[in-house]
Amino acid sequence: MKTKLYATVAAVALTAGTASADGHLPFTPGEGDFSWDSYNEWVATAPDLSGQNVTIFGPWLSPEDGIFRSMLAYFSDATGANVTYTGSDSFEQQIVIDAEAGSAPNVAVFPQPGLAATMASQGLLTPLGDDMGAWVADNYAAGQSWVDLGTYADASGDDQFYGFFYNVNVKSLVWYSPENFEDAGYEVPETMEDLIALSEQIIEDGETPWCIGLGSGAATGWPATDWVEDIMLRTQAPEVYDGWVSNEIAFNDPRVIEAVETFGMFAKNDDMVAGGSAAVGSTDFRDSPTGLFSSPPQCYMHRQASFATAFFPDDVVPGEDADFFYFPSFAEKDLGNPVLGGGTLMAVTNASDATMAFMEFLQQPIAHEVMMAQTGFLTPHSGVNLEAYGDDILRGQGEILLNATTFRFDASDLMPGAIGAGTFWTGMVDFVGGASAEDVTGAIQDSWDALK
């Protein structure tokens, strides 16, 4: 699945911090850019959980696992609970086996909401309750989006709030070289109309606006799905996006075709993309951003998720030689500031008093700030101190999250695997290779119909 690919490349981009995997607090209370006052208030009323255990199972491996454990140390220090985290690259398979066998951990960390929704429908998750859902709605930027993403039907078909999102990523980003922009006299666009006008201006100046690469081995095509998803959020209301994800709105609906054709305006125009449109399908996505930093530049912009820095040349310093801006929305559409991304969801698979206390602890800014200071961790928690982020790049991405009016999870990761990680990928390769948007979306819809 594409989420696994994101998890792999995100791990490459992690920066080792002062994490401690042995239970020691990595940051001294009272020091640094952390919300110690709110933490101390919570500690004053924290339950005594001495002798109680909380087990957590998820997909995070080294170095993320040690850094996550360093955050857990603050909960353990305040409550006396013994909290253990175990990571596995076979999490998706193992959590189902353990839950069905009655040996599930207390908390499971899902890299995709789809699996959590399936387990909720089977009665294998414990609802977090309306109070937790209301807290997320009030304290997360675009809060209702996060509530909706964590709300699933239970075994009786009734909707319940099950999932608390923790550690998210932002995909609605355009990377560029500030030096190249300054030399050419270009300004960061604030609307999609401005972005299109800038792209056309770059062409008029005899240069190439974009680098785009869809190559990714067996997963070739997935970067184009991100483009289409972002464009869907900028041309249609969120409920249309949701209907498209569930196929209540057909894949070959005119609104989806419009989004694919808008992507084609960038990717199928020889003047618009480095190497011409013929190179888009064969250029590896890991190689495509290097054109930003060649001399002279092969391109001026590259749309990619927050992990793009992992594939920059070694001598490129993010925040100095490279920066990003929000992939803007259309002013004329008046759809706010939608953000496309992904994230991990905390859900309770084996409830206990200590477990529910831990889920409440995750509401505390410190539970986010300890991670913010050490890794590529991003949070939509509006109560955190942005100064806690480890660098300006992360801080800027955190600000984009906090300014979001709508957040939506990567569509292809929510679609059935045969579609989202199958015909959607291959269809986008066919599209940049010359096929029409009508033919490509029609074929994808046919493959969806075959599943019914």
Token digits for 309? 């820095």
CA distances from 341 to 294, 307, 408 (A): 29, 11, 6
Domains in the chain: how many in total? Answer: 2
Residues 174 and 346 sit within 8 Å (Cβ to Cβ): no
- Nearest residue to 11 (alpha-carbon basis) of 241, 307, 439, 262: 307
Q: Are residues 360 and 280 in the same domain?
A: no
Domain boundary among 393, 409, 425: 409
CB atoms within 10 A of CB 57: 22
Torsion of CA 136, 346, 173, 432, to 10 degrees: -120
Domain enclosing residue 207, as ranges: 173-338+414-449
Q: 144: burial class by Cβ within 10 Å (0-12, 13-18, 19+)? A: middle
pLDDT at 145: 95
- Nearest residue to 132 (alpha-carbon basis) of 419, 346, 320, 387: 346
Q: Are residues 15 and 157 in the same domain?
A: yes
Q: What is the pLDDT along the chain (452 residues), one digit of tens a residue?
A: 454 444 434 433 333 333 344 457 999 999 999 999 999 999 999 999 999 999 999 999 988 899 999 999 999 999 999 999 999 999 999 999 999 999 999 999 999 888 999 999 999 999 999 999 999 999 999 999 999 999 999 999 999 999 999 999 999 999 999 999 999 999 999 999 999 999 999 999 999 999 999 999 999 999 999 999 999 999 999 999 999 999 999 999 999 999 999 999 999 999 999 999 999 999 999 999 999 999 999 999 999 998 899 999 999 999 999 999 999 999 999 999 999 999 999 999 999 999 999 999 999 999 999 999 998 899 999 999 999 999 999 999 999 999 999 999 999 989 999 999 999 999 999 999 999 999 999 999 999 999 98
Q: Are residues 222 and 352 in the same domain?
A: no
In CATH, what number is assigned to the domain containing residue 130? Answer: 3.40.190.10
pLDDT at 382: 97
pLDDT at 388: 97
Run of H or E including 119: helix 113-121
Q: Are residues 443 and 307 in the same domain?
A: yes
170: left (phi over 0), alpha (psi -120 to 50) or beta: beta
Name the amino acid, one letter, at 176.
Y
Q: Are residues 16 and 43 in the same domain?
A: yes
Q: Are residues 311 and 246 in the same domain?
A: yes
